[in-house]
Structure 1
Amino acid sequence: MQRRFARANTPGGSRTGTIVVAVLGAYVVAGLAWWLTTRPATVLADSALLSGAVEGNPTWAWVCGAAVIASGSAVARAVGPLATSPEHGFWMLATPVDRAALLRPRVMATFVVAAVAGAAGGRLAAYAGAVTLWTPLAGVGAAFGVSVAAAAVLTQARVLPARTISTLQVLFTVTAAGAAVAATVGFEVRAALPWTPVVAVVGVSVGLAVGAMRACGRITATELDEGADIAVAAEVSIIGMDLTVLTGVANERAWRRIAHRPTRTLPRNRSRALLHVDVLRHVHRRSAFVVTAVTLAGAWTIGGMVSPIVAAWVQMAAVFLAAMVFSTGLRELSGNPELVGMLGADDRSLRLPLTVLPSCAAAAVAMVTAPLVGWSVPALVTVVAGSCGAVYRLRTRPPSTYDGLVLEIGVGQLPIDLIRQKLRGPDCLILTAALLAALS
């Protein structure tokens, strides 16, 4: 009834625009698919960004494939994978109707998205391993994508244990790390697959998908609502081009899992108290150390295969990411004007203590990755200063406003003021990257 009403009351003038946007989207998707399927297998190995001394290793295909599956498991675990809005759950799922019939279209859409993402991951794995016959890898990737989605639905329906998806995530993460170590030391694992194991994996995925379709009616409204906040936050972040909405919801869920902690006495000095709280935040939630360790491993792995300029940029990305994950206290303070007013000091006095921890993290990561740039002191100083400046500008950026200056051009509207707001922070990174290119 709602869809019929919407179609009957849709203004006629907007249908042309809808058709144009749909055709444009189809053109872009078809172009990307054509590009992915027609590039040679050595497109990454022949890139000018890589070092000429590096030879192709098919083991990198397994690294890429395992990383894609681990990422898909993390997304499925966070979203549900099935989620519904409060309105849909109240008006439809809470009524005596066939819940499985209502959820099966969502399950099918989830399987389609998972299959496409898995096939794209298989194609990227073929690029990483320089595999000429890429269709078996794409087929395996699509089958694994559907299998992960089906396992997540079965977990949500309480058919499989609650830790199934988290176990898959850890398993493939460890596999990707082990394969990366093996590829780094030069150990080669054949990545070209015959079609026999592909058919077997597809059969398993079809069985899991059929089981998920039959069991989706057992999913309760509470379980459907668990991942709705992440799904809505991701949609709002994409539309508003502001990731703080998504990161805020993710942080709230993380702190709920951590639950309460014992009360501690803070120092009487305000600056020392702020620094103490910032340290305790990361002691209680150790994900920042894990992210930094993974970033360091990735920087060392990639830095040995690329040209000197790209190695400097890789180091900059690692230092920036480490400073970002350790600057959550600065973000929380800058986004809470009530807390700032309650502390009774100017912004600079409150923000400076919260820059100590991210600055130390940036300096430590810069020293660990210094061999990537040949222990160049100017490069190290530039990386640390530019990354810390970018993090400070990004974390203290005020909320985005969408009513600023808009320039009318021949192809539409150009939001000048919104672009200016979004460049606060990335502008320091762009300048730092240009300086590193000049120093390399």
Structure 2
Amino acid sequence: MTAPPATVAEAPAGLPTARQVRTHLRRARRRHHEHSLGDVLGDAYVIVLFVGMYGWFAISAGRNMLDSPTVGQAEPGVRWWLAVAALLTGAGLAWRGLRAFGPLLVTPATQSWVTSAPIDRRAWLAPRLAVLLAGTAVGTALLGVAVAALGGVSDPTALGWAAGAGAGWGAAALALSVVAQSSRAGRRWPTVAGAAPMVAAAVITALVVLTGRLGDGLPRPESTPTIALVALGVPLAVAGTVLAVRALPRVDRATLTTGAQFANAAATATILLDPSLLTGLVESRRWRRIGRVRSGGFLPGPGWWALLQADVRRLRRHPSALLVWAALIGVQYAAALALPGLAGAAQVVFAYLAAARLTGGLRAISRSTGLRRALGGSDALLRGIHVVVPALGAGLWWLATLPTVEPGPAWLAPTLALGVVAAAFRAATRPPIDYGGATVNTPFGMVPVDLLRQGARGPALLAVLVLVQLFLG
């Protein structure tokens, strides 16, 4: 008797398209969505109203501050070129931010159920890219208008060209960052694209400072090249968008989820008012990028001497901290030329930022009880050893920037320098935030006073030093 033939499995149904999956998810969300379209539009109206109102107030206050006799008048060319350097620096930092966020990112659920499935990656990511491009273009257009208005431009045509320049270059930067997100490992052009505006800003700042100290300063151009910026930015945005759409299939899951991790850390740090949640992630990524280091022995001596050498070696393996420390010296000289009346207050703030860049070892031992126990010795001794490098860095920075401020009482400069070190020490040794503190009921809602007090540890002392400098400097 012949055995019956084996049953042939039915062919699997066709795979759903990205649009079908997106439609299904949208319908599922609507079943659990309690807000109507009117509520969404009302929230959008409130956001636009607040952005417009506070944005215009910030622009008006900035223009009044620049024209105030208290701030001091500077050469128009000095402020114009320093504004260009500031915009280039902001462009470089924005590029680094886009590279850190992705800019394309997905949630863990999307990573597990969508990007892991055989769904067209380009069709899935294209709507996200379109939304990001539109939002970035609108945001940078408003930024261009704000910068032009802050510079004294009131002609509607000129403001329109400024908006076009901002929208074009913003969209181009976002599109090219998506292309960089899809690039294979080993390509250097994303790093060069982020470093080029920073280097140009440093060169412009150095030229402005040197010419301002030695002569009358760089002259201001007769007209702002907004038309040329539009003529270059819009075609670059179009070409970048085409390249980004073509590169969408090469965006892998690792880059999509890495940006989501960074975005979640930033959102959590903002909600919980704890910046260490974000800075800790940034530091861990930075040390992982180093990957391998060359080990070496320490000079003989007691234990504190070995720990001090280890803190110095940490700076050698983290050269960007020293680079920022040195760059802030140039920023202080530039601030003294652009805002002569606020040179002393700027010196206090920038000295704090420079010292804070050197407190990596102090933050590490202050946030890890196990590390302090493993090293041995008292907590005060360990913190005292690791405050030596920030204190020396703040002292050298202060001496290097003394020519930028008017001499005050003999005791003021040493007191402010020691206060800056104390503020950096307090900020680096801040214990983990306790969320069970007291709150106060105000007309603006519940204010977590104890939470704000913990977050202001260090910056509060810095604010006192700024007031002392303004009234006694």
Same fold judged by TM-score > 0.5?
yes
- Deviation larger for 165-174 or 150-159: 150-159
Amino acid at match of 1:332: A
Query: Between the two proteins, what is the percent identity of the paired residues?
Result: 28
Q: Does 1:286 align with 2:312?
A: no
Distance in 1 between residues matched to 2:162 and 2:85, nearest whole Å: 13
Which structure has more relative contact order (CA 8 Å, sep 6+)? It is: 2
Q: How does 1:41-56 map to 2 (within 5 A)?
A: 43=64, 45-56=66-77
Q: Does 1:162 align with 2:187?
A: yes
Q: How does 1:29-178 map to 2 (within 5 A)?
A: 29-35=51-57, 39=60, 43=64, 45-57=66-78, 58-126=80-148, 130-132=152-154, 133-158=158-183, 162-178=187-203
Q: Does 1:216 align with 2:239?
A: no
CA deviation digits over 1:200-259, x for unaligned, max 9? 431221221133124312211123233333222222222222221211111111111222
Amino acid at match of 2:287: W
Report the CA distance shift for 1:286/1:200 in structure 2 as closer, same or farther (over 3 A).
closer
Aligned to 2:214: none
Aligned to 2:8: none
Distance in 2 between residues matched to 1:414 and 1:19, nearest whole Å: 28
Distance in 2 between residues matched to 1:134 and 1:99, nearest whole Å: 39
Distance in 2 between residues matched to 1:228 and 1:11, nearest whole Å: 26
Q: Does 1:333 align with 2:354?
A: no
Among candidates 50, 56, 66, match of residue 28 of structure 1: 50
The question of whether the paired residues in 1 share the 8 Å contact of 2:165 and 2:226 is answered with: no
Amino acid at match of 2:323: V
SS in structure 1 at match of 2:411: helix
Aligned to 2:441: 408
Distance in 2 between residues matched to 1:243 and 1:344, nearest whole Å: 28
Give the structure-2-normalised TM-score: 0.84
Distance in 1 between residues matched to 2:246 and 2:337, nearest whole Å: 49
Aligned to 1:187: 218
Please say which structure displays the higher CA radius of gyration. 2
The question of whether the paired residues in 1 share the 8 Å contact of 2:372 and 2:379 is answered with: yes
Distance in 1 between residues matched to 2:267 and 2:104, nearest whole Å: 15
Distance in 1 between residues matched to 2:244 and 2:431, nearest whole Å: 44
Among candidates 297, 304, 318, match of residue 271 of structure 1: 304
CA deviation digits over 1:390-436, x for unaligned, max 9? 11111111111222212223332111211121121112111111211
Aligned to 2:21: none
The question of whether the paired residues in 1 share the 8 Å contact of 2:104 and 2:256 is answered with: yes
Among candidates 428, 431, 435, match of residue 395 of structure 1: 428
Distance in 2 between residues matched to 1:243 and 1:194, nearest whole Å: 37
Q: Does 1:345 align with 2:377?
A: yes
CA deviation digits over 1:155-209, x for unaligned, max 9? 2223898322211122111222233334442223535236465244312212211
Deviation of 1:77 after TM superposition, in Å, equals 2.1
Distance in 1 between residues matched to 2:258 and 2:271, nearest whole Å: 22
Distance in 2 between residues matched to 1:401 and 1:21, nearest whole Å: 32
- Deviation larger for 211-220 or 286-295: 211-220
5+ unaligned residues in a row in structure 2: which ranges?
1-23, 212-216
Q: How does 1:412-431 map to 2 (within 5 A)?
A: 412-431=445-464
- Deviation larger for 145-154 or 160-169: 160-169
SS in structure 2 at match of 1:413: strand
Distance in 1 between residues matched to 2:137 and 2:165, nearest whole Å: 10
Report the CA distance shift for 1:241/1:194 in structure 2 as closer, same or farther (over 3 A).
closer
- Deviation larger for 334-343 or 208-217: 208-217
Report the CA distance shift for 1:383/1:120 in structure 2 as closer, same or farther (over 3 A).
farther
Report the CA distance shift for 1:234/1:335 in structure 2 as closer, same or farther (over 3 A).
same
Task: Name the Cα RMSD after superposition.
Answer: 2.9
How many residues in Structure 1 have an aligned counterpart in Structure 2?
437
The question of whether the paired residues in 1 share the 8 Å contact of 2:77 and 2:220 is answered with: no
CA deviation digits over 1:306-346, x for unaligned, max 9? 244x1111111121111101111000001001111223322
5+ unaligned residues in a row in structure 1: which ranges?
none
Report the CA distance shift for 1:426/1:64 in structure 2 as closer, same or farther (over 3 A).
closer
The question of whether the paired residues in 2 share the 8 Å contact of 1:41 and 1:131 is answered with: no
Among candidates 330, 339, 354, match of residue 306 of structure 1: 339
